[in-house]
Structure 1
Amino acid sequence: MNLNTSFPKTVYAIQHLAFEDLGSLEDAFYQLGFRVRYFEAGVDDLGPALDYEGLTIILGGPIGVYETDDYPFLIDEISGLRQRLKDNKPTIGICLGAQLIAHALGAKVYAGEQKEIGWSKLEIKNVEHNILAPLKDTKVLHWHGDTFDLPENATLLASSALYPNQAFSVGKSILALQFHLEVLEESFEKWLIGHTCEIRNAQLSIQKLRNDNRKYAKRLEDMTSHIMNRFISRTM
């Protein structure tokens, strides 16, 4: 891969929950020669991450973009993100991060009719140069209760059986993913511990989630590496 040598070689990641980190993405970026720097939402000043000229990734978390009264840091995060997107700086949002991107672009974000938790395939849309094409026939991890409308001028990339708007892009530099492509097989137990109340309230089987992780996570890790290679190539 021929990379633009002037492109910043550190990936900034905004983290909303300790165990929802970059996961397999971190390994993919290291292999491409990038470093990684984390910012903790609600604790750190997110200004440097949102102003950054290089790639910033906004990760998931169990709060809603509309919960600004309870989590006032979201106000500044959304404001900074809105300017970042206006400037077309390279940005990836995952789960809550995708919802924040949708909201910052003017789309409605709201509680869905039911939670989508577990492993299932996506319907990859037949659009030109769909960056998610490697995920065709690959099961991905879903873990969300909120959803969003498709922003104006966005290209829909994927849907699921429960939610039509699973991924979208705006140009070549902005990518929003409702699902989790970053989950790392060896770290998934943290999710089962950290989300235990949500799992039990949804009456889901922890053992099935664990077994499905063993079945599907490794292939997803491989596909994620391909996708990040494609994103970096077209962005840089």
Structure 2
Amino acid sequence: MRPVLILQHEPAQGPGYLLQCLREHGLDVELLRPDLGDRPPAYAGDFSGLVLLGSDHSVQDHLPWIARERLLLADALRLGRPVLGHCFGAQQLARTLGAPVHRNPRPDIGWRELWITPAARHLFDGQDRLLSFNWHHDSFQMPPGATRTLFGVHNLNKGFALGPHLGLQSHLEVTDPGLRAWCAQGRAELAQCHGPTVQTEQEILADLPERLARLRRAARAVYHHWIGHLDRRPVFVRPRAA
């Protein structure tokens, strides 16, 4: 069957726990780094689904690879290939669907309790709250026709669903090594950001086993739901003429 295409944009923001879930389902994965020069394909039909991960960049940045990603997203939407966006990836998806993306008054960095809307609780194993990890400066508006899945105290739009497509303004994919690497990479940013919406590195890394266990329960449910929508039709290779 067709592989799942993952677009990663930062060394410390890899697919993490999502990759484990994909492998549990026996799915092949192709991973590209557009920020390092990998060119996103123009045709989404070669993949069963598309995943976009986080980035230190903004969707407002005028970079060729960001524009090319949106062309690929538009093709995935046209073909009905399921899209899963995390943070920057969710903003890319929202913008491709016609929703504005704007700068927040304050960055949102650290662990947050989010509320799961009644319409989305089936995605999160029936839970009504989600302990999520966040690191973002921008937020999206709700795309036309989408259903809000998550909301928080500091950000109303923390997640949406539209058919098989999911946008998450948070990180469900994080792992212990990944978070430690991310904090190390982002120490200068953490030193400059202060206020009620920003946690320190020590606060972020506190009680990680318990926090990640809670996060993984919700992440597993969401990921397995999204995986269930993937195009699993086999790829037939036309035999060459003798």
Partner of 1:192: 183
Q: 1:118 aligns with which of 86, 106, 110?
A: 110
Q: 1:176 aligns with which of 167, 172, 179?
A: 167
1:217 aligns with 2:212: yes
The Cα shift of 1:49 comes to 7.3
1:148 aligns with 2:143: no
Q: Which amino acid aligns with 1:217?
A: L
Report the identity percentage. 24
SS in 2 for 1:92: strand
The Cα shift of 1:133 comes to 4.6
1:67 aligns with 2:61: yes
RMSD: 1.9
TM-score, scaled to structure 2: 0.86
- Select the structure of larger CA radius of gyration: 2
Q: 1:232 aligns with which of 220, 224, 227?
A: 227
Q: Aligned runs of 1:15-30 on 2, under 5 Å? A: 15-30=8-23
Q: 2:38 aligns with which of 35, 44, 66?
A: 44
Task: Pick closer, same or farther for the CA change 1:128–1:81 going to 2, 3 Å.
Answer: closer
| CA–CA separation in structure 1 for the residues paired with 2:73 and 2:96 | 7
The Cα shift of 1:235 comes to 4.3
1:35 aligns with 2:28: yes
The Cα shift of 1:132 comes to 3.1
Q: Is the 8 A contact 2:107 2:137 kept in 1?
A: yes
SS in 2 for 1:131: helix
| CA–CA separation in structure 1 for the residues paired with 2:200 and 2:43 | 37
| CA–CA separation in structure 1 for the residues paired with 2:146 and 2:123 | 14
Partner of 1:3: none
The Cα shift of 1:56 comes to 1.2
| CA–CA separation in structure 1 for the residues paired with 2:12 and 2:177 | 12
| CA–CA separation in structure 2 for the residues paired with 1:111 and 1:216 | 28
Task: Pick closer, same or farther for the CA change 1:202–1:129 going to 2, 3 Å.
Answer: closer
| CA–CA separation in structure 2 for the residues paired with 1:218 and 1:48 | 37
The Cα shift of 1:130 comes to 4.0
Question: Where does the alignment leave 5 or more consecutive residues of structure 2 unmatched?
Answer: 232-242
The Cα shift of 1:48 comes to 6.1
The Cα shift of 1:88 comes to 1.9
Question: Where does the alignment leave 5 or more consecutive residues of structure 1 unmatched?
Answer: 1-6
Q: Which amino acid aligns with 1:187?
A: G
The Cα shift of 1:125 comes to 0.5
Moved more, 53-62 or 226-235: 226-235
Q: Which amino acid aligns with 1:47?
A: P
